[in-house]
Amino acid sequence: MKEQREKKIFLDGQFVNEADAKVSVFDHGLLYGDGVFEGIRAYGGRVFRLEEHLERLFDSAKAIRLTIPLSLEELTNAVLECCRTNSLWDGYIRLVVTRGKGDLGLNPASCPKPTLFIIADAIRLYPPSVYERGLRLHTAAVRRVSSEALEPAIKSLNYLNNILAKMEASASGSDESLLLNEQGCVAECTGDNIFVFKHGELATPPVSAGVLPGITRREILRLAREEGIPAVERNMTRYDLFVADEVFLTGTAAEIVPVVEIDGRTVATGKPGSLTQKLLLRFRALTRSTGPLIYSSGRPAETEAAQQQ
């Protein structure tokens, strides 16, 4: 059996072994979900849309008045170095900034220094069979957090209602849950945006519906328009999903996943649609040719060994 390499975590400016990567129990990210994060993908030795992910991270932090302790350039270099340190070629990067260690009160003024850590690791994807057969969705009873309570464009650490919806999907025997907003309009799924294709038009809910403006979502809107397909953002109800020609989800980890059933209703033929498959192929080609290089010259031998462990 091959010996498992211990991951190195970038924590507050230095690399530490996974076992030593510790955050205080008084950290407000743990106590109150006070912080922001990004999930980023590496493909073939490149970090896909790193600049856009970091821009969203800084925007989210600014919106909650949280100061990121590194500059954009420093954080870019830290992400790439974390990938190199962990011999990552294809994988997932989790970048988290919390309010930091404070006291047991809510007041963020008790937190003098933010906590920042980066994890670069292998990613657990949907199995290939999911892309071939498609997902079954269940509409969750829990609603998306109101835009008036928490701005959906902020990618914060507050994911409890998404977790509750994910549990509902498991309990119902479905693959994923669909979240509606307070008005009963379609918002998103537990970790992915949703798209509907009908009568030659591709539509996705607007941010005002309670939607995180996903990086993959943005790319799919752009790719569809390049294909000459009208791609719009508009409010939708479940009816729009029930009668759609195609439905699919998008996300950093999921990429593009077809949906074939919603609340017991078959979507169109019950098989992944042609547009979904075309966009997935175009997106995957894009990920292999876009983004800053992790390594200056080809694939180091140790990355291949790391991927096999």
155 in catalytic set: yes
Separation CA 258–CA 80 (nearest Å): 31
User: Rounded to the nearest 10 degrees, how much is the dihedral formed by the CA atoms of 148, 61, 76, 86?
Assistant: -80
> Who's near 215: CB < 8 A, 6+ residues apart?
49, 52, 53, 56, 252
Contact 147, 183 (CB under 8 A): no
- Residue 84 in tokens: 């190199």
- Residue 210 in tokens: 């309670």
Q: In DSSP terms, which residues pair with 194 in a beta bridge?
A: 249
Of the listed 2, 155, 198, 271, which one is catalytic? 155
Query: Which among 62, 71, 41 has a CA at the least distance from the CA of 215?
Result: 41
Q: In DSSP terms, which residues pair with 43 in a beta bridge?
A: 46
Neighbours of 64 (CB within 10 A): 16
Separation CA 258–CA 274 (nearest Å): 10
Catalytic residue annotation: 155
